[in-house]
Structure 1
Amino acid sequence: MSTTWWQQSVSLREAIARRAAFAREPHPAGIAKPPLQLMLAELRSLYRGRSKGPEIAPAVHPMPVMLLPGFGSHPRRMKPMADALAAAGHQVHEWGLGFNLGPNQHNFMFLMRRVGSIARMHKAPVALVGWSLGGLFAREIARREPHMVAKVITLGTPFSGDPRANNAWRAYQVVTGHSVDEPPIECDFSVKPPVPTVALWSPRDGIIAPRAACGWPEERDRAVAIRCSHLDFACAPKVAAEVLRQLDWEE
C-alpha cells in the first residue's frame, strides 16, 4: 500500500511539474493572436444580459443537430442556440459530456457512438454545430464517419494554421496535461471533412485569431464573418440566426 501511495505521489508531482512547464512556454514568434484589448473585451460577454432571440422561421430542412460546447464551457452556455434551433423545428441534442475539458480516447469514442445513436434514432445524418474546441471534435467525427454527419458548422474554431494562433493554448495545455502539438487522438483538423463544412469566424474574436477560424478555401466549403466576441458565438441571436440559415442552405 505504501508503494502505491508513493507511486501516486510521484505521478502527481510529475503532472504538476509538466503543467507548470506548459504554463511557462513563451508564445512563438511570428504566430498571430488576437490583441490584448480584444481579449479583455471578451469579459463583457460574461456579464451581458441575454438579448432578444432571433426571429424564428420554420426550418426548410429540419434535421437532428448536436451542439458541442467550447473549451472549459458547459452545454448550458449554448442553451440560447439550442432554443432557437428547436423553435425552428430541428431536433436538438447536447453532446452528453458536461464541461468540455479537452479530448481523450474515452470521450472522443463516446461522441462517435453518440452521433451514431442519434443518426439511427432519427434515421438521418446529424448536423454538428461546434463552438471553438467543440468544432474540432465535430470536424474530426465528420472526417472519420461522414455517413453519420449531414454537415459541420464551426463557431470560432481554430482548425487552420498553427495551434498556438490564439490566446487559449497555454490554458488548454495546463488543463489537459498535453501539448497542443500532441493531441491524445490521431487527427488532422485542417483536412476538410467530406461533408458540407461551414466556418463562422469573427474579426472581433479576442481568443482565436481570425485566420485560424476562417481557414483557407480548401479547408472548408464556406466561411462567414460575424462581428461578435468569441464567447458570444455560443449565445448571440445573430449567430443563432446565421446557424439557422446555414442549416437550411442547400449545397
Structure 2
Amino acid sequence: MPRPTGAKSSSDSGMGRSVGVVLRLMPRSVTHPWARRPRVRATGERGDRSTPVAGAPVRGAPEGYLPDVTRSTLGAFLLPEGYARLAPHAALRESSVLLEASRYAHSRAGQRRARRATAYASRVAPRDADPVLLVPGFLCGDLSLRPLGRVLREQGLRTYRSQIRANVGCTLDAAAELEGRLESIAQRRGSRVQLVGHSLGGMLARGIAVRRPDLVSNIVTMGSPMLAPGAHHPSLTAAVEALVRLSRAGLSGLMAEECLAGACARRSFEESREPVPAGTGFTAIYSRRDGVVDWRACVDPLAEPVEVTASHLGMVLDPRVIAHVVAAVRPRDVPAGRTGLASVLEVDRGESA
C-alpha cells in the first residue's frame, strides 16, 4: 500500500538523524554558504584576498552572527620559525610507498629462502641486546609496525607491542600508558628497553626517554618531527581537525583542543625538545622525500642523523631503512650476520608486533 503523502518511514527518520550529525561536524563555511569570512586588503579596504577580519559581521548572515576566526586548531608554538607546512603537492612523494612495499616483499622472499638453507643453530640471535618496544605513528596502531618487528625478531631481538590500536588520543595519556608498558617490560626482562618509534611514535619515545632514563637505553625515531610538530601536510591538519570535532561531539579517547593548542600540547612539545640523558642512545632517521612532515624537523641536533631515501609511510617497509633500524638497536660489538648459537632454552622472545 502506498505511503500517505507527507508520512515518513523509520528509515527516513534515521537517515535524517545521520545527516544532521554529519552537518554538525562539518565546518560552518560548508554548512552555511553565507558564512564566508570577510577579508581585507593590506590597505584595510574590503576585498576578496588577504586575511580575515576577526569578529567582523558577515553580509547576509543572521543577525548577531560573527565568524569564529580567532581559534586555531594547532598552537603556534608547534611551528617554530625556520620550519614550514608542506605544500599540497608534496603528498605525491608518498606514492613511492608502493615501490617500498614491493621491495619489502622481495626482500622477505629472499630471507625465507636463506633461512630454509641455514641450520637453526647457525641463525643470528644476539640475545644480549636490550628488548625493543615499537611505537606506531599518528592514526596508526601496532599493526603498522608488524613488518619491522618481524625482521627484528628474525635478527634475534625481542620485540614488544605498544598496545596502541590507533594513535589518535591525547599524547600525554598515550605517553603515560607507554611508560607503564615500559615498566612492565623492564621488570620482566631485568634490563632497560629500547624504543623504536615512527612519526608521532618517535616523539612519544623521545619524551619518555627524557623522563625515564632509568628505563630507556636507546631510542630510534623514523620521520618524527620533534623540532616542529606543526610542520606537516595539510591533509594531516584536516585529520587532526576531524578528531577534534569528533571529540567535541562526545567521542572519548580522541585528541581534544587542549592536546593541540593548550597546556597539554605545550608540555608534550617541551618534553620532546629537552636534552636526552647521557648514556641513552639516540638515532634519528629522516628522508628529504618525506611527503607528510618537514624533514628538517626530524633532524634532532642531539641525535645521530641517518638520511634515507623513502616516503614517510614507506619508512616502516623499506628494507634499506629497516637495515638502519637493525644496526641502531643491535649491540655495537655484535657483527652483522652471525652472533653465535641460538639458545633452545630461551622462553621469552618478546611478542609479535
Deviations along 1:51-94, one digit per CA (max 9) or x if unpaired, are 32486954485221000001001211111100011111111001
Specify the alignment match of 1:164 in structure 2: 230
3-state SS of 1:207 partner: coil
The answer on 1:177 being equivalent to 2:256 is yes
**1:38 aligned onto 2:82:** no
Provide the residue aligned with 2:305 in structure 1.
223
Aligned residues: 233
Is 1:197 matched with 2:282?
yes
Q: Is the 8 A contact 2:137 2:200 kept in 1?
A: yes
Which residue is equivalent to 1:9? none
User: Are the equivalent residues in 1 in contact too, given 2:170–2:256 (CA < 8 A)?
Assistant: no
**Cα gap change, 1:30 to 1:169, in 2 (>3 Å):** farther
3-state secondary structure, aligned to 2:276: coil
Residue of structure 2 in register with 1:151 after alignment:
218
Contact 2:223 2:298 in 1 (8 A): yes
**Residue number among 316, 320, 324 corresponding to 1:238 in the alignment:** 320
Verify the 8 A CA contact 1:131 1:155 in the aligned structure 2: yes
Correspondence for 1:4:
none
Q: How does 1:1-251 map to 2 (within 5 A)?
A: 31-45=83-97, 48-49=101-102, 50-51=104-105, 52-53=107-108, 57-59=124-126, 61-160=128-227, 162-167=228-233, 168-175=236-243, 176-178=255-257, 180-182=260-262, 184=264, 186-187=267-268, 188=270, 189-194=272-277, 195-216=280-301, 220-248=302-330, 250=332
Of the structure 1 ranges 38-47 and 122-131, higher mean CA displacement relative to structure 2 is found in: 38-47
Structure 2 unpaired stretches of 5+: 1-23, 29-67, 112-122, 244-254, 334-353
SS of the counterpart of 1:147?
coil
- Tell me, in whole angstroms, the C-alpha distance in 1 between the residues paired with 2:303 and 2:74: 37
Q: Please, what TM-score do these two structures have when normalized by structure 2?
A: 0.58
Letter in 1 for 2:262: E
Instruction: Give the counterpart letter for 1:226 in structure 2.
Output: V
Residues 25, 244 of structure 1: alpha-carbon distance in 2 compared, 3 angstrom cutoff? closer
Sequence identity (%):
25
The answer to whether the Cα contact below 8 Å between 1:103 and 1:183 also exists between their aligned partners in 2 is no
Instruction: Give 5+ residue unaligned stretches, structure 1.
Output: 1-12
Q: How far, CA to CA, are the matches of 1:104 and 1:249 in structure 2? A: 30
1:98 Cα deviation after fit: 1.0
Could you report, residue by residue, the CA deviation over 1:150-172 in whole angstroms, capped at 9, with x for unpaired residues?
11100000101x33211134433
Q: Secondary structure at the match of 2:201?
A: helix
**Structure 1: how far apart are the matches of 2:275 and 2:175?**
19
TM-score (norm 1): 0.79
Deviation, structure 1 residue 102: 3.6
Cα displacement (A) at 1:106: 3.5
Cα distance, 1:35–1:89 mapped onto 2, change above 3 Å: same
Quote the Cα distance in structure 2 between the aligned partners of 1:224 and 1:61. 24
Q: Secondary structure at the match of 2:218?
A: strand
Alpha-carbon distance in structure 2 between the residues aligned to 1:94 and 1:156: 19
CA contact (8 A) 2:136 2:164 kept: no
> Structure 2: how far apart are the matches of 1:203 and 1:31?
14
Q: Say whether the 8 Å CA contact 2:290–2:311 is kept in structure 1.
A: yes
Distance 2:238 2:74 in 1: 8
Against the structure 1 CA distance between its residues 174 and 93, is the aligned structure 2 distance closer, same or farther, given a 3 Å change threshold?
same
- Residue 275 of structure 2 aligns with an amino acid whose one-letter code is K
Q: Which amino acid aligns with 1:233?
A: M
Code of the residue aligned with 2:289 in structure 1: it is R
Residues 15 and 177 in structure 1, CA contact (< 8 A), matched pair in contact too = no
In 1: Cα distance, 2:25 partner to 2:97 partner: 36
Closer, same or farther in 2 for the Cα pair 1:60/1:116, shift >3 Å?
A: closer
Match of 1:8 in 2: none
Q: SS of the residue aligned with 2:182? A: helix
Q: Is the 8 A contact 1:23 1:174 kept in 2?
A: no
Judge conservation of contact 2:136–2:197 (CA < 8 Å) in 1.
yes
